[in-house]
Amino acid sequence: MVPPVEGFGDDAASDRLMAAGGPDAITLRAIAREMGMTANAIYGYFATRDDLVTTLINELYTALADAVDAAWAEAPAAHPADRIQAWARAFRGWALANPEGFRLIYGDPVPGYQAPEGGAAPDAAHRVCTGIAALADAAWPHTGRLHARSDFQWSDFDAGLLGKVRPAFPELPPAGVALALHIWGHLHGLVSLEIYGHLRTQTVNPDKLFREELTQLVRSLGVEPEE
């Protein structure tokens, strides 16, 4: 049985600790203190701090995967631009609602933390990875001609990545995998800048900047949003 530390909502002990002290603040004793428990009590649920961090990362990553999967499923399959934008907006929306969680998944390493073999959240990571590939796959019928001279080969990519992408999208060529990484770079890069506060002195309207980025992205893919 796991104590009620699930999620990184406004009232979560882990969230308060991360916000106050970053990854260094995540300790079993600190979590126990925030939750009004004794250290011995929480050790009954988690043998080590690594077990606790793994649980937190898994819950966060799963919540993110749920958010982007739901946005993708709700957008019309016949409208690839809308599906791509829906996925991207859900990714940014989740990150803005859970900035400390985003940092724990994608940014700040927890000092001394050793993830289990296969990663802290293999299922969620697989879902997000294939979700990104789905963006490229949806655009490929429209944009593939623009990559006709691409010289990407399967050997250019990590075997672990290909093990996730190729079974899910067997028709996507190596250039399509490169396109997925290109899309990911656009979306993750801009969201990361926002989460880490690097846009604060550059723009007073990061939402407008992100919307314009999405518009230009789908246009570069040869697809247009439905009116």
Least confident among 24-28, 102-106, 165-169? 24-28
The pLDDT of residue 171: 96
- Using CA atoms of 108, 113, 119, 120 in order, give the dihedral in degrees to the nearest 10: -80
Listed in sequence order, the residues at least 6 apart from 22 whose beta carbon sits closer than 8 Å to its beta carbon are 108
Question: What are the structure tokens assigned to 219, written together?
Answer: 């246009």
The pLDDT of residue 224: 74
**pLDDT tens figures, 70-117:** 999 999 988 999 999 999 999 999 999 988 889 889 987 788 889 999
Q: How far apart (Å, rounded) are the C-alpha atoms in residues 17 and 39?
A: 16
Over residues 114-122, mean pLDDT? 93
The pLDDT of residue 22: 58
* 126 pLDDT more than 70: yes
Largest separation between any pair of C-alpha atoms in the chain: 63
The pLDDT of residue 5: 46
DSSP letters along 33-56, please?
HHHT--HHHHHTT-SSHHHHHHHH
* 39 pLDDT more than 70: no
Of 189, 211, 199, 12, the residue nearest 100 (C-alpha) = 12
Of 41, 101, 35, the residue nearest 65 (C-alpha) = 101
Least confident among 130-139, 187-196, 217-226? 217-226
* 201 pLDDT more than 80: yes
Whether residue 14 contacts residue 103, with contact meaning beta carbons closer than 8 Å, is answered with: no
